[in-house]
Structure 1
Amino acid sequence: MSNNTYAPSNPEAFTVQFGNDPESFMSKLVASRPFIEGERIGSLGVSHPSSAPVYSTVQVGREAHIELDSDLRYTNHSCQPSTLFDTVTMEVRAARDIEAGEELTYFYPSTEWKVTQVFPCWCGSEQCIGDVQGASYLSPKALEGHYVNPHITALVQEGSKKE
């Protein structure tokens, strides 16, 4: 997608920054304005159900995945995220105060039980989980301190009962 044909979905709240290298897939979502902790940034409701999980879907239930129809699909992972994806209210909210121009990120295991394409996390935080594989590969302790959606919490509890 070239910048000449790109039309932002919600420029008052966020925009996508694409890498300068045409061969690069690097992109990121950035805040267009400041947000305070807990503030609604956008809706996950503009989406389509997906018949199968793929790298670009968000898991919104035990077996349910959606394909986002907005720039929110450019939200990258971080182990110290600036946002949270709430699959109950279908909203994205600020996990902490966010400055204008700051990257919007979320903790992928908060929605994903297993990701279809494992990738290394580059966040560099002390709490970094290393390879992002989904919540099923993390200990309950590794999930502590993160907002985790109810479908992931239920799956973690079921898994810990089996051990």
Structure 2
Amino acid sequence: MSDDATYSAPGLKVVSLGSHLRGVVAERNFKHGEIIAIWRGSIITEREAVALSESERSQLLQVDEDKFLVTHQALVNADFINHSCDPNCGFTDSTTLVAMRDINAGETITFDYAMSDTKSIFAFDCWCGSSKCRKKMNGSDWQIADLQERYAGWFAPHVAQLIKRAKH
């Protein structure tokens, strides 16, 4: 892997989830803590992120309060990992996604975008279908006490810092 290429763990497969939606499914078992993806790319400002097209914004990952990583390469498996309100993956740093629990072959790989996104440019209606579905995802979801408790230790560092500041 080159330093600027996004890493996707072996055993991830992009699948169709409907007419216009794709996602990532585990083709093998993943252990708790195993690296699923490491995103790489260029850092841009929030102002630059807002100016991107909707399809370009789908390749963004918020990595700081006003900084975003954009992958300029051809799409890789990691770029199709979707949101879920009941995810099986979380962050160990700003760009590394790992299994929060053991993941079985056949499971869809997901993370809750509230773990990294704090801006309204990522707001959308959620159709994840989980029993914990919030129906809407927006940039303030990291402030929900239940999520802070459930995802403790799995938030990207900039979100963990916001939570820490909000509690003091």
Q: Is the 8 A contact 1:50 1:65 kept in 2?
A: yes
Unaligned runs of 5+ residues in structure 1 are 1-8
1:34 matched residue in structure 2:
29
Q: Is the 8 A contact 1:80 1:125 kept in 2?
A: yes
Counterparts of residues 1-163 of structure 1 (less than 5 Å): 10=8, 12-19=10-17, 24-44=19-39, 46-51=40-45, 52-53=48-49, 54-68=57-71, 69=73, 70-88=76-94, 90-135=95-140, 138-146=143-151, 147-159=154-166
How far apart are the structure 2 equivalents of 1:98 and 1:139?
A: 25
TM-score scaled to structure 2, two decimals?
Answer: 0.73
Deviations 1:46-81 (A, max 9, x none): 322234333431111122211234321111101111
Q: Is the 8 A contact 1:17 1:29 kept in 2?
A: yes
Q: Is the 8 A contact 1:13 1:41 kept in 2?
A: no
Greater helix percent: which structure? 2
Unaligned runs of 5+ residues in structure 2 are 1-6, 50-56
Root-mean-square deviation (Å): 2.5
Poorly superposed stretches of 4+, deviation over 6 Å: none
Q: Alignment identity in percent?
A: 26
- CA 1:153–1:117 in structure 2 vs 1: closer, same or farther (change >3 Å)? closer
- CA 1:101–1:110 in structure 2 vs 1: closer, same or farther (change >3 Å)? same
